[in-house]
């Protein structure tokens, strides 16, 4: 009789990394749909383009590192990274911007650190930050929501969008379809008060609804992930709360110069970050307590960068800064174990 010997447990929950990644991909569907509806085909094209590039880069690097590409490609983590990057960059960004971004995300930020599970920074955010710094013009030219383009649904056609991304469209064409984001508008409002800027800017007074809708769609996806227990509430909730409290405090004291908390939650990448980016387990803090600290710090940093920083949205920088701090948070946020009166601190052993 040939029986096998192995360590317990002998049963496993059918729950694999690729399952987790698949669920994350599914959870992004509402957000992608909303982006497509309000901002045109650009997002979908970017996602497809980034996805193809990500798989290609990942496969190449795995080959170079003598790893079996099939096994690793199936875990879907490259696709998730590509998708998060693709929804973060402007829908009309030229193809090479996406290509550079995906290369940085997959090759530099992920594989050079040792692949899945080893990267200290969120790959999508590393790529986004790099693109934002290197190509500020391309990266801040966001598509105007269709509501600003007249009646009906006059977004750029699929072919036009394809042309805009891969070919070279006239700058006039761009002008008719692109504009600043609400955060941008508010950031560069000159000497106006928030109220005045709001009334003057089309993007804010008319187009804001599109942004709110997209945020709501991301929130839906996030709730789905929470429901499926893919993510825990700790980081998202603490981040949103921290952002809300900060914004609320300043708005309460000085509504003329600061945006409302609701505006902060509903625009920019806030919801995307809360449920899809800071919940990236690899680069975030480990324990529940740690994730609360991690999330809250990101919320505060986002508010600070948005309000006083040079860039209109600070999600990428906030996340990267806190990625940097995550190992340290881990050391001081260990849970209290059963039978211990206090939680351990520090790393223990020889430093």
Partner 1 sequence: MGKVFAFHGGIHPPENKKQSTRTPIRPAPLPKRLYLPLQQHIGTSASPLVNVGDRVLKGQMIAEPVGRISASLHAPTSGTIRSIGPHPVPHASGLESDCIVIDSDGLDEWEEHQGLEDYTSLKPGALIDHIRRCGIAGMGGAGFPTDVKLHLGDDHIVNTLIINAAECEPYITADDMLMRERADEILGGIRVISHLLKPSHIIIGIEDNKSHAIRTLRTALKECELNIDIRVVPTKYPSGGERQLIQLLTGLEVPSGKIPADIGIVCQNIGTTAAIYRAVHFGEPLISRIVTVTGDAVAQPQNLEALIGTPFADLLDAAHVYEDRLYRLVMGGPMMGMTVEHDQIPVIKTTNCIIAASRDEMPPAPPEQPCIRCNMCEQVCPVTLLPQQLYWFAKGREFDKAKHHNLFDCIECGACAYVCPSSIPLVQYYRFAKSEIRTEEAEQHKADHARERFEARQARLEREQEEKEARRKARAEEAARAQKARKAEPADTPTAAPALDINALKTAAAVARTKLKKAQKALNTARESGEGDLPALEAAVAAAQGSSDQAQHALEQANSSTASGITANVDLKQLKTAAAVARTKLKKARDALKNAEDKGLEGLDKLRATVTTLEQKAEAADQAHQQAEQAATPADNTPPTDLKALKQQVSIMRTKLKKAEAALANLEGEARTQAEQALTELRQRHAAADQAFKAAEQMQIEAAAAQGVDLKKLKVDAAMARAAVTKLERALGKTEDEQERTALESQLVTARDKAEQLNTTLQQHAPD
Partner 2 sequence: MSTVITAILILFGLAVVFGIILGYASVRFRVEGNPIVEQIDALLPQTQCGQCGYPGCRPYAEAIANGDAINKCPPGGQSTIESLADLLDVEAIPLDAEHGEEKPKMIAFIREDECIGCTKCIQACPVDAILGAAKQMHTVITDECTGCDLCVEPCPVDCIDMIPVETTITNWKWPAPTESRNLIATDRGRGLQQEAH
Shortest reach from residue 332's CB to partner 2, in Å:
21
Sequence-ordered list of residues with C-beta below 8 angstroms from that of 113, at least 6 positions apart, any chain: 119, 120
Q: Output 8 or 342, the one with its CB closest to partner 2.
A: 8
E-assigned strand segments in the chain: 142-143, 178-179
* Side-chain-facing half-sphere of 95: CA atoms under 13 Å: 14
In this structure, are strands 178-179 and 142-143 parallel, antiparallel, or unpaired?
A: antiparallel
Task: Give the one residue of 168, 171, 310, 337 binding partner 1; rule: CB under 8 A.
Answer: 337
Residue 340 touches partner 1, criterion: CB under 8 A: yes
Shortest reach from residue 283's CB to partner 1, in Å:
8
Shortest reach from residue 284's CB to partner 1, in Å:
8
Q: CA angle, 345 as apex, 317 and 241 as ends, to 5°? A: 40
**Candidates 12-20, 47-55, 178-186, 250-258 — which segment interacts with partner 1 by CB under 8 A?**
12-20
Q: Output 189 or 228, the one with its CB closest to partner 1.
A: 228
Closest CA to 179 of 158, 212, 148: 148
Residues 13-32 within binding reach of partner 1 (CB under 8 A):
13, 15-17, 19-20
Residue 350 touches partner 2, criterion: CB under 8 A: yes
How many residues at the interface with partner 2, by CB under 8 A?
7
Q: How far is CA 347 from CA 120, 285, 322, in A?
A: 18, 14, 19
Query: Which is it for the CA torsion 39, 134, 274, 99, positive or negative?
Result: positive
112: left (phi over 0), alpha (psi -120 to 50) or beta: alpha
Long-range contacts formed by 171-179: CB under 8 A, 24+ apart: 174/92, 174/141, 176/149, 177/40, 177/92, 177/143, 177/144, 177/149, 178/90, 178/92, 178/141, 178/142, 178/143, 178/144, 179/142, 179/143, 179/144, 179/148, 179/203, 179/207
**Candidates 18-26, 47-55, 62-70, 250-258 — which segment interacts with partner 2 by CB under 8 A?**
62-70
Closest CA to 218 of 100, 315, 323, 84: 84
Residue 227 touches partner 1, criterion: CB under 8 A: no
By a kind-dependent CB cut-off of 5 to 8 A, residue 253 interacts, out of partner 2, partner 1, none, with none
Task: Give the one residue of 2, 3, 68, 190 binding partner 2; rule: CB under 8 A.
Answer: 68
Q: Output 19 or 260, the one with its CB closest to partner 1.
A: 19
Q: How far apart are CA 257 and CA 194, in angstroms?
A: 6
**Candidates 63-71, 258-266, 271-279, 315-323 — which segment interacts with partner 2 by CB under 8 A?**
63-71
143 phi, psi to nearest 5 deg: -70, 140
Residue 281 touches partner 1, criterion: CB under 8 A: yes
**Paired residues of 178 in beta bridges:** 143
Residue 10 touches partner 2, criterion: CB under 8 A: no
Q: How far apart are CA 53 and CA 272, in angstroms?
A: 22
Q: Output 23 or 73, the one with its CB closest to partner 2.
A: 73
By a kind-dependent CB cut-off of 5 to 8 A, residue 66 interacts, out of partner 2, partner 1, none, with partner 2
Shortest reach from residue 180's CB to partner 1, in Å:
37
Residue 71 touches partner 2, criterion: CB under 8 A: yes
By a kind-dependent CB cut-off of 5 to 8 A, residue 282 interacts, out of partner 2, partner 1, none, with partner 1
What residues make contact with partner 1 under the rule CB under 8 A? Answer: 1, 3-13, 15-17, 19-20, 71, 75, 77, 115-118, 229, 232, 281-282, 284, 286-288, 291, 330, 334-341, 344, 346-350
What residues make contact with partner 2 under the rule CB under 8 A? Answer: 7, 65-68, 71, 350
């Amino acid at each position: 009789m040939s029986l096998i010997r192995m360590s317990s447990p002998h049963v496993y929950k059918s729950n694999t990394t690729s399952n987790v990644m698949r669920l994350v991909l599914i959870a992004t569907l509402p957000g992608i749909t909303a982006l497509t509806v309000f901002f045109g085909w650009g997002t979908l094209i970017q996602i497809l383009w980034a996805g193809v590039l990500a798989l290609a880069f990942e496969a190449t690097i795995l080959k170079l590192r003598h790893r079996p590409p099939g096994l690793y490609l199936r875990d879907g983590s490259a696709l998730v990274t590509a998708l998060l990057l693709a929804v973060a960059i402007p829908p009309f960004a030229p193809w090479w911007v996406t290509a550079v971004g995906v290369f940085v995300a997959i090759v530099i930020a992920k594989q050079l650190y040792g692949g899945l599970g080893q990267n200290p920074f969120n790959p999508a955010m590393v790529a986004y930050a790099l693109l934002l710094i290197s190509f500020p013009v391309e990266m801040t030219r966001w598509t105007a929501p269709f509501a600003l383009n007249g009646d009906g649904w006059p977004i750029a056609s699929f072919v036009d969008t394809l042309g805009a991304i891969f070919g070279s469209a006239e700058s006039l064409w761009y002008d008719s379809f692109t504009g600043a984001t609400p955060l941008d508008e508010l950031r560069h409002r000159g000497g106006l008060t928030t109220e005045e800027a709001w009334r003057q800017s089309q993007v804010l007074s008319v187009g804001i609804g599109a942004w709110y809708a997209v945020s709501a769609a991301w929130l839906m996806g996030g709730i789905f992930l929470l429901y499926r227990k893919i993510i825990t509430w700790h980081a998202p909730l603490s981040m949103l709360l921290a952002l809300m409290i900060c914004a609320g405090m300043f708005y309460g004291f000085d509504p003329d110069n600061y945006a409302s908390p609701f505006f902060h939650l509903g625009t920019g990448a806030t919801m995307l970050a809360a449920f899809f980016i800071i919940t990236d387990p690899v680069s975030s803090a480990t324990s529940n307590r740690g994730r609360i600290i991690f999330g809250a710090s990101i919320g505060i940093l986002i508010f600070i960068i948005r309000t006083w920083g040079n860039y209109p949205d600070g999600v990428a920088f906030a996340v990267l800064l806190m990625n940097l701090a995550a190992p340290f948070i881990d050391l001081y946020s260990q849970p209290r174990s059963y039978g211990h009166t206090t939680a351990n601190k520090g790393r223990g052993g020889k430093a």
